[in-house]
């Protein structure tokens, strides 16, 4: 099994804006693989807290990840604790549909999404946020 971790283009912009590094995302995947999830939201979407620089996990960010707890992990959405308390309703339903689509991708479809810039792959041990050219929304 080859572990691959991705972030959507929208998630990548948010992560860059708030200072979430690829190393922090890898650490959270390692924790989730050990069963340390904050919530299973159904539809293969899980919530995981991530520390923000200088704030720790408690005052940090919440991320929503599409996964079957196997080889592919897709960071879909992120938000600060101060931005919203949780996600639900139609927004969650939309993320669950996106999770279903992404988790159904074969390797060729993943490569197409990578080429189109819709997905960015995290390489273990590398922080791509500075190299990828992804900028935050102003």
Mean pLDDT, all residues of the chain:
85
**pLDDT tens per residue, range 90-134:** 899 999 999 999 999 999 999 999 999 999 999 875 444 443 433
b/e burial code for range 53-82 (CB count within 10 A of at least 16 → b): eeeeeeebbbbbbbbeeeebbbbbbbbebe
Residue 14 has pLDDT above 80, yes or no: yes
Dihedral-angle region of residue 126 (phi above 0 means left; psi in -120 to 50 means alpha; beta otherwise): beta
Helix (H) or strand (E) holding 108: helix 107-116
pTM listed for this prediction: 0.85
What is the predicted pLDDT for the residue at 1?
Answer: 66
Segments making up each domain of the chain, as ranges: 4-122
Share of the chain above pLDDT 90, in %: 65
Q: List, edge to edge, every strand of the sheet that includes 4-8.
A: 39-42, 45-52, 56-67, 72-80, 4-8, 119-122
**pLDDT tens per residue, range 65-78:** 999 988 899 999 99
């Amino acid at each position: 099994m080859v572990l691959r971790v991705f972030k959507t283009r929208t998630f990548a912009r948010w992560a860059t804006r708030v200072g979430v590094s690829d190393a922090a995302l890898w650490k959270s995947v390692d924790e989730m693989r050990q069963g340390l999830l904050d919530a299973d939201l159904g539809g293969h979407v899980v919530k995981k807290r991530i520390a923000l620089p200088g704030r720790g996990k408690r005052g940090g960010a919440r991320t929503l990840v599409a996964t079957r707890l196997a080889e592919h992990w897709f960071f879909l959405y992120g938000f600060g604790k101060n931005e919203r308390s949780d996600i639900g309703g139609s927004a969650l339903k939309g993320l669950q549909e996106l999770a279903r689509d992404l988790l159904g991708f074969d390797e060729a479809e993943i490569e197409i999404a990578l080429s189109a810039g819709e997905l960015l792959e995290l390489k273990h041990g590398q922080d791509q946020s500075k190299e990828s050219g992804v900028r935050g929304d102003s």
